[in-house]
Amino acid sequence: MRKLIFFMHTSLDGYISTPNGDLSWAKLDEGISNWVYEMTQRSDMAMYGRVTYEMMQAYWPDAGKKPDASGHDKQHSAWYNQVDKVVISRTLDGTDLSHTTVMGHNLKQEINELKEAGGKDILIFGSPGASLSLLELGLIDEFYLLVNPIILGHGIPFLQKLPKTVSLHLLESQIFPSEVVLLHYAVKKQA
């Protein structure tokens, strides 16, 4: 069965962006770029909340075509354009979206069907609201957190107001040249 894997940059004090959504503080060195590429090669589906999807859709389809596109931008843009996408939303109309399915009315059943359908893993990028819902339903299997060496002091928090405790098991950690620390956790499933 495929796994649902959560992936996000965070500050040391647990924020995923500034109050206005700025992510320029999140570091992306060559080691992180290579790691992201490896992660995308082990997945064949990307999942987003509506806001994150709209942000990604505004950038990634053409990012690899820009004259100043980095190697990472070219690789990730190519992956983004071919990968199947799922958007968690109750308001987005999914009728004209390429490679994209909108879900949100019965998340537990819909996501479990995706996981049981087979294939590579599913990556959920950012999307704090959608991720909170998925975590509450016990659907997230693993976390990859890229903890950046910065304290923001305020902003959009990572998984705020979780109504229950979720136990994790550290699978690995890694330090990148930019001093970003990767933490890879498995969710301990409740019996």
The residues spanned by each domain of the chain are 17-156
**In what side-by-side order are the strands of the sheet with 168-175?**
100-103, 84-88, 43-49, 121-125, 4-11, 142-148, 181-187, 168-175
Res 108 pLDDT > 70: yes
Q: 53-62, 119-128, 159-168: which range is least confident on average?
A: 159-168
Predicted confidence (pLDDT) per residue in 122-134, tens digit:
999 888 778 888 8
* Reported confidence tier of residue 117, pLDDT bands at 50, 70, 90: very high
Average pLDDT of the residues in 155-163: 82
- Number of residues that make up the chain: 191
Integer CA distances (angstroms), 82 to 4, 75, 88, 107, in order: 19, 11, 19, 24
> CA-to-CA distance for 165 and 152, rounded, in angstroms?
25
Average pLDDT of the residues in 119-145: 89
pLDDT at residue 61, as a whole number: 86
Average pLDDT of the residues in 77-82: 90
> CA-to-CA distance for 170 and 160, rounded, in angstroms?
21
Contacts of 103 (CB under 8 A, 6+ apart): 86, 87, 88, 89, 110, 111
pLDDT at residue 14, as a whole number: 92
Average pLDDT of the residues in 104-126: 91
> CA-to-CA distance for 15 and 151, rounded, in angstroms?
8
Q: 6-15, 31-40, 86-95, 147-156: which range is least confident on average?
A: 86-95
Instruction: Pick 17-156's CATH classification: 3.40.50.300, 3.30.479.10, 3.40.430.10, 3.40.50.2000.
Output: 3.40.430.10
Number of Cβ within 10 Å of residue 173's Cβ equals 12
Residue owning tokens 């004259």: 67
Closest to 3 in 3D by CA, of 134, 147, 181: 134
